[in-house]
Amino acid sequence: MIETPRARRSLEKLMKLARGDADALRVDLADIERARSAAEASLADLDEKAANEEAVAGHAVADIAAYREGVCARRHNIRTTLITLEDAEMNARTRLEAAFIEVKKLEHLMEINDRADKKAGRRSDLNAMDDIATMRARR
């Protein structure tokens, strides 16, 4: 593969951009995972607090009924949030995998170019030695 310094710089810029995108996606995925963990902890905490509140309230039926309705609404909201976060996490993983594939493609292309450069360098060295040997043989 014939490569110019300009093409090499372009390939390096593409690689830098692809790695930057992959890093940003990795950070986004970590943020989504933290948010999901926090929502799961909130749900567990809500269930624990609801059980404690019901035990403390005892026989105050009217208060407990309203409290249970509020807990059910909050539980529903947290579960909806969890579903949204799980979808976002799956989407982020898919985008991150695509970014890693892009990075690997560019790395492979750079390796091919490096091998071609080395091969051309060896070929150039051999041609130079052949020229020197030819000039010596003519003397």
Q: Check residue 3 and give its pLDDT.
A: 61
pLDDT, tens digit (0-9, with 9 covering 90-100), for 79-96:
999 999 999 999 999 999
What percentage of the chain reaches a pLDDT higher than 90?
A: 51
CB-based burial label for 39 (10 Å; 0-12, 13-18, 19+)? buried
CB 63 within 8 Å of CB 57: yes
pTM score, whole prediction: 0.72
For every residue of 69-106, DSSP letters joined together read HHHHHHHHHHHHHHHHHHHHHHHHHHHHHHHHHHHHHH
**64 and 4 in contact (C-beta within 8 Å)?**
no
Query: Confidence band (pLDDT; 50, 70, 90) for 61?
Result: low
User: What's the burial of 32, exposed, middle or buried (CB within 10 Å: 0-12/13-18/19+)?
Assistant: buried
Quote the pLDDT of residue 87.
97
Between 8-17, 56-65, 82-91, 106-115, the lowest mean confidence (pLDDT) is in 56-65
pLDDT at 20 over 70: yes
Domains of the chain: 5-138 (1.10.287)
